[in-house]
A and B are shown apart, each in its own frame.
Chain A
């Protein structure tokens, strides 16, 4: 157990729908990062939050949004889903001074 908790582990939904992925960072970590990993792509950085505020934005589509709550958990909202959004979505939190600790991911399948 990495200490980063992601739910749900699997999600199957239809095109056009909206889903919410949830992440709880390791205790004491203030930063949360969201990544998307498709079969033919590497880990693509989506967005970073630090202590409730958005800090960096990567290749995140306008249909996607995220937020970090006062208790530091984060949610990634994906709307108007398309087949191409099927991927593994990872959340990571950042301890000091080494790299990320990743959650186990949410596998999203859009049918």
Chain B
């Protein structure tokens, strides 16, 4: 079966740095995604890792180790608006016509940023 684990909840302080971990055990791997989801809203794409290493994108960075089945999302200079759920997702296969295959999501980590 497919298993993606991430902490259920985390709390951090405005201006601080927080790291959200994700471990996965899946049959097949074609990339790891991070999404942000505010309550009641659609998930929005944050980052994509297909090779090992760190991908940096402004205040957000994502790291992948395929041999360890491990990824993390690093959020710097936290702002109140970063309070949201962060979803780790694995693409199990290549899609058709170059599109992504179906993504399997973890249950998400609810991050609360406090003043």
Residue of A nearest to B106 (CB): A42
A42 to B108, CA, bound (A): 7
Report yes or no: B98 in contact with A97, Cβ–Cβ below 8 A.
yes
Asked if B48 and A98 make an inter-chain contact with CB atoms under 8 angstroms apart, the answer reads yes
Q: Is A96 an interface residue (CB 8 A)?
A: yes
Q: Are A102 and B42 in contact (CB under 8 A)?
A: yes
User: Interface with B: A29-37, A61-69, A77-85, which one?
Assistant: A29-37
A50–B96 alpha-carbon span in the complex (Å): 7
Hey, what's the 0/1 contact readout for B37-52 against A, CB within 8 Å counting as 1?
0001111110010000
Q: How far is the CA of A33 from the CA of B103 in the complex (A)?
A: 9
Task: Count A-B contacts at CB 8 Å.
Answer: 78
State which of A58, A96, A105 has its C-beta within 8 Å of the C-beta of B99. A96
Q: Give the distance in Å from the alpha carbon of A56 to the alpha carbon of B100 in the complex.
A: 12
Instruction: Determine the chain B residues whose CB is within 8 A of the CB of A33 once the complex forms.
Output: 102-103
Query: How many A residues have CB within 8 A of the partner chain?
Result: 32
Pair A50/B97 contact, Cβ less than 8 Å: yes
Query: Using Cβ atoms and an 8 Å threshold, which residues of chain B touch A99?
Result: 33, 35, 45, 48, 89, 91, 100, 103
Q: Is B107 an interface residue, CB under 8 A from the partner?
A: yes
Residues in A neighbouring B103, C-beta threshold 8 A: 33, 45, 99-100
B interface, CB within 8 angstroms of A: 33, 35, 40-45, 48, 87, 89, 91, 95-108
30 A-B pairs within 8 Å (CB atoms) are namely A30-B96, A31-B95, A31-B96, A31-B99, A33-B102, A35-B105, A42-B87, A42-B106, A42-B108, A43-B89, A44-B105, A45-B102, A45-B103, A45-B105, A50-B97, A50-B99, A55-B96, A90-B43, A94-B95, A94-B99, A96-B99, A98-B45, A99-B33, A99-B100, A100-B103, A101-B45, A102-B42, A102-B43, A102-B44, A104-B42
